[in-house]
Structure formats: C-alpha cells, structure tokens
Structure 1
C-alpha cells in the first residue's frame, strides 16, 4: 500500500469500526509522530490546554486539505509547521481580540455606574438584559460592525440586529425625552457606516 491508497477497517457488514476515518497512512504517521510537539507548541503560545487542542485540530484539518500539495514539497515538515504556526497565531490573535472587546465592555459597564444623567439614560442602559446591553454598547457606543459583534457574541448578524432593535426600544421607552431632544434615531441613522472592524 502506498501514500495514495487509503486504509479502511471494516467489519463484515462493511461498516467502519471505531472512529477511523479514511486518511492517508503517511498523514496519520506525520500526525502521530508530531502530535506531542504540535500540542506543546500550541500550549506554550496559547497557555490553555483546550485552545491548544482546538488549534492543533484546525491546523491538522488544513494540512489534510492540502495533503496532496504537501506531498510534493521539498521540505514537507517545514510547510506543515508553517501551517501550524499560522493557525496557532490566528487563535492567539482571536483570543486577544475577544479579550480587548470584553475589556471595553467591562470598562464601559463599570464607568456607567459612576455616571449621572438627569434623563435617566445611563440607568436605562444599565437595566438592559446582558445580550441587549452588549449589542447596543458594541454597536452604538463602541462602533463595532454587526459582523464583528456577531463573531464576539457567537450569534448571527440577524440576532445582533434584533438585540440592537430591542435595546433601542427599551431605551426609548425608559427615556422618552431622548426622541424629543435628539429626534428619532432611526431616521437618517448613519451608525451603520462609521464603525470599527
């Protein structure tokens, strides 16, 4: 059997045994030989066992997707490690981005309690349910785009839009003078255009 052939363990009924998937033997050998080093590297960068496991899994899926091209590389091991490093770096950056957004929300939430408003805007904002608070603050105060908010909150952009609408309605109900003073925010609302990534 060579690298281009796939090994398949089957029972008499033709069903796969266990969790074996059809993978080239050389791919399996590479993973088995380097899995500890891959995980150790990811753990050192990410400092989290679960995140390291996820990063290694994602990287190995990318290796698998490019396996035929990697087989003809002069230094396949170097290319595999490049994929591993890039994937782990993406996970590290992702964690930093999430931490920065969470810190921004936390700072705003903490500062909100120190602010005072004759109209009761800050109290109304603080009274919003958690997801509505996060969506409204990220969207209209910190100026993040809906897709970035959806990524952070782990929900769809439609759900972000829903939470923003619901949050705005609650604020308008709690503080009706907002509409009189500032006009209807829905008319000519340019908040969709000038936002962060």
Structure 2
C-alpha cells in the first residue's frame, strides 16, 4: 500500500510530476466546464474528481498519445456527460413518481386516471412519456434503456389496456378498441 503525501497545495506528491502539473494547470478549467454543464458546484467537483482518477489510472497510456491534452479532455467530457445523464434520468424518474401519485389523488368520472395508474411500471412510464409529455421514442429509449421496438410495444400495450378499461372514453373520442371492426369500418 502506498502512502499519500500532500504538499501545502493539497496535491498528492506520490504522483508523477507530469500528472501533478496536468492536474494543477487544468483543474480550474475542468471544474468550470463541469459546472457549466451540470449547473451544480458539488456535482462538478465530483465529476472532475472522477475524471482525474480515470486520467491518473491511465496516465502511462496517455503520455504516449500524440495529443494527450485532447485525450484528457475527452475523458472529462465523457464523465461529465455520464453525471448529466444520471441527473436527468433521476429527475425524470422523480417526475414520473410524482405524476403517478398526483393521478392517484384525482377522481375522474370515466376511470381514466385509475386505468393509467394501474399500468405496470414500464408501461406507465412509456405511456406518460410518449402521450402526455410528448417524448420521442428515441428519448424514451434513452431514458428506459430499452429498444425502440420495446418502447413501441409498451406504448401500444399500455394504450390498449387504458382503452379496454375505459370503454366510455372510446365512445366519446370516436376511437375504437383494438379488434373492434364494426366502428372502425364506418370511420374510414
């Protein structure tokens, strides 16, 4: 196990001088970039720390790169993007939870709210994101981590479950339930 020795500037003096120089020369610029993207000082500090650990761990490989500085920035940008994606996914998940709770407190005379909140979690997320919040299938795919085909299936199945649970809604909107050919033929 190696001991960490810090000078007065808080730099680990057990690290190579070239890494220390990189760290000291770019630390402020790294933080500024991370702060602009993430909008939060603590998150920016964490992202920069994570990126610098990755840089440190691959320092010997980076030293032989033709443009080491570009590679170091690429590592930082990748880490910052991961932090941003994680924060955005967490915000979407919290919003969906809040939406489900809000719907459970509403009373509709047609049973739409009840039908929506009884959807399985992934169908609920896909239906709300697609039809209420108007997310693109690609954006839902990114958020849920599933294929576009699965997004389409969840949306289709969720919508069908709602339509099946709320037939009075179908009559008012003029839509027909899947497989109901009698009304479908008259609408075309």
Q: Same fold (TM over 0.5)?
A: yes
Is the CA contact (8 Å cut-off) linking 1:56 and 1:88 kept in structure 2?
no
- Shift >4 Å, 4+ stretches: 41-44
Q: Distance in 1 between matches of 2:54 and 2:161?
A: 44
**Alpha-carbon distance in structure 1 between the residues aligned to 2:75 and 2:117:** 43
1:80 matched to 2:71? The reply is yes
1:92 aligns to what? 83
What RMSD, in angstroms, separates the aligned Cα atoms of the two structures? 3.5
For the Cα contact (< 8 Å) 1:136–1:164, is it kept in 2?
yes
SS of the aligned residue for 1:71 comes to coil
- The Cα shift of 1:152 comes to 1.1
**Correspondence 1:1-197 to 2 at 5 A:** 44-46=45-47, 52=50, 56=54, 71-73=65-67, 76=68, 78-184=69-175
Residue segments in structure 2 that go unaligned for 5+ positions in a row: 1-15, 24-30, 32-42, 178-188
- CA displacement 1:19-75 (0-9 Å, x = unmatched): xxxxxxxxxxx9xx79xx8xxx9994249x9xx59x949xx7xxx8xx8xx7333xx
1:185 Cα deviation after fit: 7.9
User: Could you tell me how far apart the structure 2 residues matched to 1:176 and 1:91 are?
Assistant: 44
Provide, for residues 151-182 of structure 1, a one-character-per-residue CA deviation record: whole Å limited to 9, x for no partner: 11111010010011111111111000111111
Alignment length (residue pairs): 136
Q: Distance in 2 between matches of 1:105 and 1:185?
A: 28
**Aligned residues of 1:135 and 1:160 also touching (Cα < 8 A):** yes
Distance (whole Å) between structure 1 residues aligned to residue 150 and residue 91 of structure 2: 22
Structure 1 residues 101-148: Cα deviation after superposition (integer angstroms, max 9, x where no partner):
112201101101111100010011111111111110111011111111
- The residue that corresponds to 2:26 in the other structure is none
Q: Which structure features the higher share of helix residues? A: 2
Using the size of structure 2 for normalisation, the TM-score is: 0.61
| C-alpha distance in 2 between matches for 1:92 and 1:185 | 44
